[in-house]
Amino acid sequence: MSTVSFKDRMEKAAKNKNSNIIVALDFPFQDLLKRELLLAKARNTLKMAAPYVCAVKINHHLTLPLGIFDSVKQLVQQAHASGLQAIMDCKVNDIGATNQVIAEYYFAAGFDALIANPFVGWEEGLKPIFETAHRLDRGVILLTYMSHKGAAEGYGQTVLDEKTETKQYLAFAKKALQWNADGAVVGATVPEKIREIYAVLGEEVPIYSPGVGAQGGTAEAAVKAGARYLIIGREITQAQKPEDAAAKLKAATQPLRR
C-alpha cells in the first residue's frame, strides 16, 4: 500500500478526475439467487460512473449479499484500476477489540478508508481502528451528522461537554480534530449543520456529504456550507444510464468545487 495518506490520495483522485463526487453503490434488496446479476450491475455502474467520480462508497447493500473477499474485493480492485479510492461505509460501532478485527478485514479486502461512529468513544472504542488505519496508511471518516430526518434524535442532542452545553455533532467535530480523523460525514440535507461543523474543522478535516438528490439535499448548498466531497447514490445507481447521470452531476458540481 502507498505511504501517501488517504486524505492526500483523495485529493489527488479528485484533482485527476476533476470531480468531488463519490458514487455510493447502494442497490435495493435482491433475491439471493440473483447475486450474480447484482454483482454485474454493480460492476457496470462503477465502470460507467468511474470517469466522472473520484471515489466509490460501498456498504451493507453489497457486502451482505456478495461477501467481502469475493465479489466486493473485485469491486474494490476495479475502483483502484479506475483511479478511484474505495470507502467502506460500515459505520463501525462496537468495542475496541471487535472494531480492530472489523477494520483489519476491510483493509485486507483493499478498502482505503472506513466510516466509524464516534458514539462509542476513544479508549477501547475507536482508538484501535485509528491505530490500525494509520499503520496501514488507510483512513477513518467519522459519522458526525447523518442525512436522514431522525438524525436529530441522536446527533442533534445537547450534551454536557467539559461542563459546557454543546450540540452532540459539534462535540463529534471536535473529536474528529482531536483524533486526527481523515474526514467527517455530515448530511447534505442539513447545510446549516455543515456550516457549523466546518467552522470547527476548517480545512483540517474534509467534510463528506451524503443525501444529495433522492433525500432532498442539494450539491450547491452543501458545498457552499463547507462540504469537500459529495456522496451520491440513487441519482446514479437508479438511472437508466448511470454514465449520463454521473456526467451531468459532475458538470453541475464542477463550478462549485472548492
- The 10 Å Cβ neighbour count of residue 29 is 9
Please choose, from the candidates 200, 235, 228, the residue with its C-alpha nearest in 3D space to the C-alpha of residue 214.
235
With CA atoms as reference, report the closest residue to 113 among 130, 101, 125: 130
Query: Is 91 a residue of the active site?
Result: yes
* Contact status, residue 101 vs residue 114, Cβ threshold 8 Å: no
Distance of CA 138 to the CA centre of its chain: 13
Q: At what angle do helices 168-178 and 191-201 cross, to 10 degrees?
A: 40
Query: For residue 83, what are the CA distances in angstroms to 110, 205, 241?
Result: 14, 22, 21
The DSSP 8-state label assigned to residue 137 in this structure reads: T
Reading the block at residue 176, the C-alpha cell is 474528529
Residue 149 cell numbers, joined:
430526518
Q: How far is CA 155 from the centre of its chain?
A: 17
Catalytic residue among 12, 73, 91, 224, which?
A: 91
3-state secondary structure of 184: strand
At 28, is the secondary structure helix, strand, or coil? coil
- Residues with a catalytic annotation lie at 91
